[in-house]
Chain A
């Protein structure tokens, strides 16, 4: 997979938990353009292990001089966000993937409703730039826990004063999803990015109100959860390895020197899908890509976030 080498040009502490990194091309050239909602995967070397985490691009899509990403310090970090917060400073060089968009705006929409929770605001920053350029009809509904955790609120107020609505939880702000979705004109699309409970609630409410699936968009990057170690057999590569508790299956496959496909590394895109040949236990599906029926069938697995509770899992790679 071809990568872009970038240099950290600026680091800003945005909230107590969020840092913003400005990335420029290491060779001083322009970066590839992208569309609102795109993300990159940042590779980082944490104590000799390569971590790859997806982050939404927050800069304006037409700005080719720099990319901006925001990194929230995760309480249950596997090392990636802690590394970004503590070890990545101005001047650091990182390898990133080319931008990929799994959360694109539907330009046929008559109106766009953007719903953000906490650091889930990040993909909307570049979408808002697109929406303003298109002079599109949109609203942003942004919920966060406390005033100090409201990232980029000043910027949003300066660009979307008429479109933005803020809900500060500890000040009693409540986003009534049902009331919001019930009054939208025909042809509206809804986009949600935030904590799992918020995403699930928006998806369920929209479907309950009869919104067609193609009008409902969500993005969640799952971090690969830790689990129990298990043996993994790679049939085509003829390799057997152990997936340790704290590594994802994809990371373990990469560490064994096998070139496995991936894009988002967050269980969203489906690129890393592998066929299960055999399995003597239970697959723990953590992705948002496979259908419930496919998960139940157990013939496919997303190694970026999913794992197995078993003795031996055999994959066709």
Chain B
């Protein structure tokens, strides 16, 4: 990739740090890698305020770090087997939440942006959510031709689940869709597909 290439819409994630000014904290983590990010948070300190944790079980069934996190987390600890039930639980939780709650998310992009989508219904904007990218770099890809979103893109080029076109995965990111823009890679020279490489492991 070209040096210095940078797309403004591409999200930049950071390391989770407790917000000193808060009335409550909500942590949502995905699997073992997300649990590790939350454990690092608790290494910083145990906050004075109420801390609630939503834990989505690890896809590889490695829940040892999740169990450790449960021991460290002082208050509510909600375990979910699927992101669907976690998002329903989150919706219910946010409906009762007050200003002053800070939300921390650690997981892959698909997890983080599905949470941002639920939170947006409660007036929480993207910049209000503290995010740490853990686990996979896999991208969700929005097909500009048929509008289908294809998940788990690990490669520079990904076939669209909707229309079957081979899409070049760009860095342009939509916070509303939680997905990167995908464009037909062989539109000008049909059938000429460049080498497909795994660049989002």
State how many residues of chain B have any CB contact under 8 Å with chain A: 18
- Residue pairs across A and B with CB atoms within 8 Å: the count is 56
Q: Which residue of B lies closest to A189 (CB)?
A: B123
Query: Which residues of B, 100-132, contact A by the 8 Å Cβ criterion?
Result: 100-102, 120, 122-125, 127-128
Contact partner of B98 (CB less than 8 A), chosen from A108, A109, A182, A212, is A182
Q: What residues of chain A lie closer than 8 Å to B99, measured between beta carbons?
A: 181, 184-188, 209-211, 215
Q: Which residue of B lies closest to A209 (CB)?
A: B100
CB nearest to A188 among chain B residues = B99
Answer yes or no: A110 CB below 8 A from chain B CBs: yes
Which stretch in B18-26, B143-151, B177-185 binds the other chain?
B18-26
Q: What is the CA–CA distance of A111 and B99 in the complex, to the nearest angstrom?
A: 11
Q: What range describes how many residues of A lie at the interface?
A: 20 to 34
A187 to B99, CA, bound (A): 7
Q: Is the CB of B21 within 8 A of A208?
A: yes
A182 adjacent to B94 (CB under 8 Å): no
In the complex, the chain A residue whose C-beta lies closest to that of B101 is A186
Interfacial chain B residues near A189, Cβ < 8 Å: 123
Q: A80 vs B175: C-alpha distance in the bound complex, in angstroms?
A: 47
Interface residues of A in 199-258 (CB under 8 A from B): 207-212, 214-215
Q: Is the CB of A210 within 8 A of B101?
A: yes
- CB of B72 within 8 A of chain A? no
**In the complex, what residues of B have CB within 8 A of residue A184's CB?**
98-99
* Contact of A76 with B by CB under 8 A: no
The CB with the most chain B CB atoms within 10 A, among A183, A186, A210, A215, is that of A186
Distance (whole angstroms) from the CB of A173 to the closest CB of chain B: 24
For residue A232, give the distance in angstroms from its CB to the closest CB of chain B: 39
Q: Which residue, of A185, A188, A189, has the highest number of chain B Cβ atoms within 10 A?
A: A185
List 21 contacting pairs A-B, 8 Å CB cutoff, sorted by A.
A108-B120, A108-B125, A110-B123, A111-B123, A182-B98, A184-B98, A185-B97, A185-B98, A186-B99, A186-B101, A187-B99, A188-B99, A189-B123, A208-B21, A209-B23, A210-B19, A210-B102, A211-B100, A212-B127, A212-B128, A214-B127
3 A-B pairs with least C-beta separation: A187-B123, A110-B123, A210-B22
Q: A183-B98, A209-B21, A210-B99 are in contact. List 20 more A-B contacts (CB 8 A).
A: A109-B123, A110-B122, A111-B123, A181-B99, A182-B23, A182-B100, A185-B97, A185-B98, A185-B99, A186-B98, A186-B101, A186-B124, A187-B99, A189-B123, A209-B100, A210-B21, A212-B127, A212-B128, A214-B127, A215-B128
Residues of B within 8 A of A (CB): 19, 21-23, 94, 97-102, 120, 122-125, 127-128
